[in-house]
Structure 1
């Protein structure tokens, strides 16, 4: 086939065959009838056929395509249908006369018809986001298909197609000549020239075999896992099968993935790794891969532009146009050398880049021993607690260190907290690929190696083979360009000798790279190879150690008892926090939406100062006499309803609930306790005994001691009785349980529950429930315990205590978590006669409960809650967030309900709003995806299908909106 035929094909519109006309051919040639639905295609016309005998695909092709090419497609399908390890593919259906290709005339125009079986499944293109596992599975599928086609041959494979990357150069020239968008044409042309320049010398060593050439997100059908993740399983559309470069099979697949990359081309790496494992590529093929991906991106965009000129009504092509622009944008976002290194590294063939030794020093007048190194990392001692995010922080710290030492420098290879950004869905570029120095004006700058000096914008660049030095902030010597020797003057730092000035030093190993100052964590290792450290030519150690989060996790698991779980399978290493934000060691900021412990926010300077001062004065146990314990007890009693005037101070909510149960035993003289199903109250023997959440303890319902009597949870959403009118039914259940105890003539010690169903996701109790239950319990001599550990202390916004919403006053209040803002602090507030009943068993003592430091922490938290109006913030921001979340329920059927109030909310996910089947696996996957988008979120409830939304009470409206937007994005794009 000659080039003119190829050019002709690129200008073909789809066959002009309507559904009714296709039905006639289907009936005449295959004796089939059914409903036809058009499927997308660029130059063919495809219809899905739904018949009583099953589903099929009717493919209609123009006569310009040789019959032998269609025979090759059919032969490939037959071959793969029996090839070991090959993915599932459609089967070819013969016509009534036994042929596999039918030529039929429609309105005097002949077309070629074929019928294939239909593969059920969902195309990957339906999901904007593809997780790494799905990406890897797609690469594996492409690799297995390529291996299965090895050795397959057919005369029809020798064909010329515009999609054949062997012909990308001439095809691009033709397509570009027809493009009317001048700017886009220039961009595509430059990309194609750069890509083909890299591929051309590799061509003789690229293996050729039969390939599908179009294994894309459109042409792979998938099944859904229980969590909703798509698993690639079958390959369709063999219209581009030909004899081509083996590596082109992977290049086409990877290019399609760039539509799902959110701008990060490194998203392809799991597919590369998996393809290579299934179908090993040579070093040359790996080197050609990224240029071929860029070439494919260019051809896609250029071809679409031309096709729309020819066939403007082609909705399939028009719908793909935006995707293909995204593919091109991602493909051109990074240098070729960067992706080449990343590709080799992911398949285990990474080569360490060696930097030539330099004979001279860049700043010979600066004493290396008198350079102050400024640590800007997450744990940097130089970073002020509340100034890490200020624009001038880096400069001020460098200047301060230079004044003290004579000169100062930042560190290379450091994840800088100063570069992080809050409320960002993408990881920020925080990894420093350069060194900033602060030196005095008129400091001499010399060439550390011989090379050619030139300008690149405002930078000076000194280049030799394999090494390029980039300098900012240097006034060049005269002449400022040309060849210079080692030690020759490059220039000086401008300014008066008494003034401090900044210069930036950076290296690169490739001439065409204009290196960025920072890289993202995901790209850091690849950029590190292209932009090595300048420490040698500076003469002092300015290299930061790399974090080892994975190694640290192994150490944790080696010695930290296994029942003490951590969030996430691959957790980020979190080492710092600020307000409602957490930071990992790579400078990634996360919005903390689960930390009800840190009620006033992370890193609060006022709390830090108060604790530091008290530690410097005194910390001991509460049996000593000091002011803070009296003040704190008084403040707590003042927050409780009248009559609850006595306070015990302990270390945690578990201890508080344990003590509350002991008080109920001591005061009532009875042993039996009433609790609710689905509840969690702690881990001590007594608090665990009244906890019935199977999410926390799968054996909870079968291992309760005989003194615990659990009643059905008053869950008005998915409980036995639903809606606000369910109060009487739930109260009756409590009465029936108590009547059983009455019949056994065994006394009741008390009843414990949360006033808002915290562990179930913030579900409110039915109206009047506690009023009725409290009265019934007290009538039998029992005491009523309000567990406010999670839901109290202003978190509900509309109430300081949760029980206020039910208009009751308990006999005992337990509280912890937020009252210490992460410091181990809990309390029991009760009436004096109940408290003093414990003395029958001896005195009570807690070593750290009520210590001077703990008391100061508690007082300071209360001051901050008041002074910063955090309960009011919980109300206003929480109400706003709830409205945002409820709006998601109008768009996404999986959002079954939004529970709670203030900043204790729960979003419950269901697979069916009628049956309320819990979407457990989906909820876990959603939380994992939210982590990738910068949000810390975890599931709760017995079915682990509720998002537990309980952030610090300082949560801003902007942060609440970010959370709602990220959740909407996950529900839109998939997980």
Structure 2
């Protein structure tokens, strides 16, 4: 998140649119790991915070049978983390339990989706209550839950963003937003940032600008990339340009309240407009942070776009909106919504069904009642500052960035070249964290960035544990490098 990003949008008047034992880690000698670390006097084994929840005994398919079925009948696309994929059994708030009863602190939240905690009691109760009343009815019939949810959600958004379309996933929401933008503008070209991920549907693959998702097949016509203001890897910006408690270590000539890099990024964007798109464009898709944001996770504001003083024409949301239940939404202005109805009849069989709306309402209530936005601000800032000390301590930690409970740690070969740390080395650090009971995510163009986005209910002791685990994994990695 950068000041340059905010000024880019303003200047062009474009709208933007979450019981451990080490026995599961058979590929790592856990005993040897801790002996080597403690012998060097660098660290001791991090002690996992307590949890007063006991999972049920796992009584389903054997692990070997799960692997066999997966190989025979599920997608052959390799997506599972770790050489020995985790077989998860149960969740409780910020904790996950595997089939052997091992406990993990979940700092990735199902790809930033479990916003208020796994199986949160209030969300569970709302789902169970509705399950016994009415599972489903399409929007050709009315039910009060969709209207109650629409009223609650719209109250959190500024005027004139008051018309809500409920759908099932983020990709579907972005698909619909693209259609809306084109129907309203009578134009086709849509711009998105390099490095952006907006989905894997045929439409949204055009907006997604990460090489591994691109195909040698026609997809996403009319979508054009532009440079993302990146003050760590990009050509401009530095230590005064980030809207975050932690700045990049790269120096720049900008004053604390005046980011000069914005002018260069604006000129680059003007070049995109002059060379790569039609004279009139349908829209510009942009993320406040180049991953999923919103629902209070950033702490300072409920919506990511508010951190940049930008009023969007369309907002898409998914992930944490349903705390893991398949749910998403597109919110827009009455004017744009009407332009869509003039072109086609939009209908979604499952969008806004009673179960989804009951769960969505409960999520909003929990965020407010438990002060989770404030907790994201306090605990997130606390953890960011501690992680920044690891960046100063280890040469391979190139950048720590983020806001609230949306944090990225970019791994590099060294701080001079900024070359990404090789994938196999990142894999090992990732695996070491898992073996100590911490689950974190991956991202970046080269899968070199660790993504930390726990449920918004986490505590400072849990943040301390996560930082200590990550530090221990880095220490062990530097020992391997020294051999």
State TM-score, norm by structure 1.
0.41
Question: What is aligned with 2:7?
Answer: none
Q: 1:756 aligns with which of 289, 298, 310?
A: 289
In structure 2, stretches of 5+ residues that fail to align are: 1-24, 45-50, 242-259
Offset at residue 716 of structure 1 (A) = 1.3
Q: Following the alignment from structure 2 to structure 1, what is the Cα–Cα distance between the partners of residues 220 and 345?
A: 26
Question: What is aligned with 1:957?
Answer: 460
Name the larger-Rg structure.
1
Q: 1:651 aligns with which of 168, 172, 185?
A: 168
Matching of residue 548 in structure 1 with residue 62 in structure 2: yes
Question: What is aligned with 2:451?
Answer: 948
Q: 2:223 aligns with which of 686, 699, 708?
A: 708
Question: What is aligned with 1:925?
Answer: 428
Question: What is aligned with 1:425?
Answer: none
Matching of residue 389 in structure 1 with residue 52 in structure 2: yes
Residues 629 and 914 (structure 1 numbering): CA distance in 2 closer, same or farther, change over 3 Å? same
Residues 670 and 966 (structure 1 numbering): CA distance in 2 closer, same or farther, change over 3 Å? same
User: Relative CO higher for 1 or 2, CA cutoff 8 Å, sep ≥ 6?
Assistant: 2
- What's the secondary structure of 2:203's corresponding residue? helix
Q: 1:660 aligns with which of 177, 180, 194?
A: 177
Residues 615 and 720 (structure 1 numbering): CA distance in 2 closer, same or farther, change over 3 Å? same
Q: Following the alignment from structure 1 to structure 2, what is the Cα–Cα distance between the partners of residues 554 and 796?
A: 41
Offset at residue 729 of structure 1 (A) = 1.3
In structure 1, stretches of 5+ residues that fail to align are: 1-130, 136-256, 265-318, 327-387, 391-415, 419-429, 431-543, 759-789
Offset at residue 839 of structure 1 (A) = 1.2
Structure-to-structure mapping, 1:629-648, within 5 angstroms: 629-648=146-165
Maintained 8 Å contact 1:875/1:903: yes
Maintained 8 Å contact 2:203/2:220: no
Question: What is aligned with 1:288?
Answer: none
- What's the secondary structure of 1:952's corresponding residue? coil
- What's the secondary structure of 2:82's corresponding residue? coil
- What's the secondary structure of 2:200's corresponding residue? coil
Question: What is aligned with 1:528?
Answer: none
Residues 872 and 617 (structure 1 numbering): CA distance in 2 closer, same or farther, change over 3 Å? same
Q: Following the alignment from structure 2 to structure 1, what is the Cα–Cα distance between the partners of residues 177 and 93?
A: 32
Q: Following the alignment from structure 2 to structure 1, what is the Cα–Cα distance between the partners of residues 474 and 409?
A: 13
Q: Following the alignment from structure 2 to structure 1, what is the Cα–Cα distance between the partners of residues 384 and 313?
A: 32
Maintained 8 Å contact 1:924/1:939: no
Q: Following the alignment from structure 1 to structure 2, what is the Cα–Cα distance between the partners of residues 964 and 545?
A: 34
Residues 578 and 885 (structure 1 numbering): CA distance in 2 closer, same or farther, change over 3 Å? same
Question: What is aligned with 1:764?
Answer: none
Offset at residue 706 of structure 1 (A) = 4.8
Offset at residue 263 of structure 1 (A) = 7.5
Maintained 8 Å contact 2:401/2:407: yes
State TM-score, norm by structure 2.
0.82
How many residue pairs get matched?
Answer: 422
Q: Greater strand percent: which structure? A: 1
Structure-to-structure mapping, 1:66-215, within 5 angstroms: none
Q: 2:118 aligns with which of 597, 602, 609?
A: 602
Q: Following the alignment from structure 2 to structure 1, what is the Cα–Cα distance between the partners of residues 67 and 370?
A: 37
Structure-to-structure mapping, 1:351-370, within 5 angstroms: none
- What's the secondary structure of 1:757's corresponding residue? coil
Cα offsets for 1:313-362 (capped at 9, x unmatched): xxxxxx98999xx9xxxxxxxxxxxxxxxxxxxxxxxxxxxxxxxxxxxx
Question: What is aligned with 1:970?
Answer: 473
Q: 1:800 aligns with which of 299, 302, 307?
A: 302
Offset at residue 417 of structure 1 (A) = 3.7
Question: What is aligned with 1:908?
Answer: 410
Matching of residue 934 in structure 1 with residue 437 in structure 2: yes
Question: What is aligned with 1:677?
Answer: 194
- What's the secondary structure of 1:617's corresponding residue? coil
Residues 961 and 322 (structure 1 numbering): CA distance in 2 closer, same or farther, change over 3 Å? closer
Q: Following the alignment from structure 2 to structure 1, what is the Cα–Cα distance between the partners of residues 372 and 431?
A: 29
Maintained 8 Å contact 1:594/1:951: yes
Q: 1:842 aligns with which of 341, 344, 362?
A: 344
Residues 914 and 262 (structure 1 numbering): CA distance in 2 closer, same or farther, change over 3 Å? closer
Structure-to-structure mapping, 1:526-925, within 5 angstroms: 548-563=62-77, 565-595=79-109, 596-618=112-134, 619-694=136-211, 696-697=212-213, 699=215, 705-723=220-238, 724=241, 725-740=260-275, 745=279, 747-758=280-291, 790-921=292-423, 922-925=425-428
